[in-house]
Amino acid sequence: MAEYHAVVAWERGGQTFTDGKYDRGHRWAFDEGVIVPASASPMHVPRGCAPAAAVDPEEAFVAALSSCHMLFFLWLASKQGLVVDSYRDAAVGVMGKDTDGRMAMVTVTLRPEVRFRGEGRPTRAEVDALHHAAHEECYIARSVRTEVRCEPVTG
């Protein structure tokens, strides 16, 4: 079994806290010292309390699903001898009320656009099968209740 660690840190500094207008900016620290500026989504806190140049948990959730899917797709393609030149996904997550009436990420739609090189480029059906297999393997997609969709973009 593997463990994954993240350190999430926030400090109040000199700002007032009890008025609810405190800065939501904080840090995510990973592995070998990678630091990611993070914040609450500006849609959920008072104006000016969420730094625009930070990643919010909702964005990170969508990115984690997209990244995991991509990594499995690339691995599966490489095992089939396919050469992938590029992979770009403009993923979108939608917040809404879940079946219990509570706010949740109700859908995440992946829209991967993959470019292949070389002989024996896969057909649309073969690419769709690779995406289906990647989705079935993706640890993150299997770990959440959110419906995760995959809508590959073809060029």
Same domain, 119 and 143: yes
Instruction: Say how many domains are in the chain.
Output: 2
Question: Closest Cα to residue 84, out of 115, 126, 47, 57?
Answer: 115
Q: What is the CA radius of gyration of the chain?
A: 19
Q: Which residue in the block uniquely carries the two structure tokens 């400090």?
A: 11
For 85-124, write each residue's pLDDT tens digit.
Answer: 999 999 999 999 999 999 999 999 999 999 999 887 899 9
Residue 2: predicted pLDDT: 85
User: Is 155 within the bounds of a domain?
Assistant: no
User: Is 112 within the bounds of a domain?
Assistant: yes
Reduced to 3 states, what is the DSSP secondary structure of residue 124?
A: helix
Task: Enumerate residue ranges in the chain where pLDDT < 70.
Answer: 155
Same domain, 2 and 71: no
- Tell which of 55, 74, 95 closes a domain: 55
User: Is 71 within the bounds of a domain?
Assistant: yes
Residue 9 burial (10 A CB sphere; 0-12, 13-18, 19+):
exposed
Same domain, 50 and 62: no
Domain enclosing residue 27, as ranges: 1-55
Same domain, 122 and 135: yes
Residue 155: predicted pLDDT: 67
Residue 56: predicted pLDDT: 92
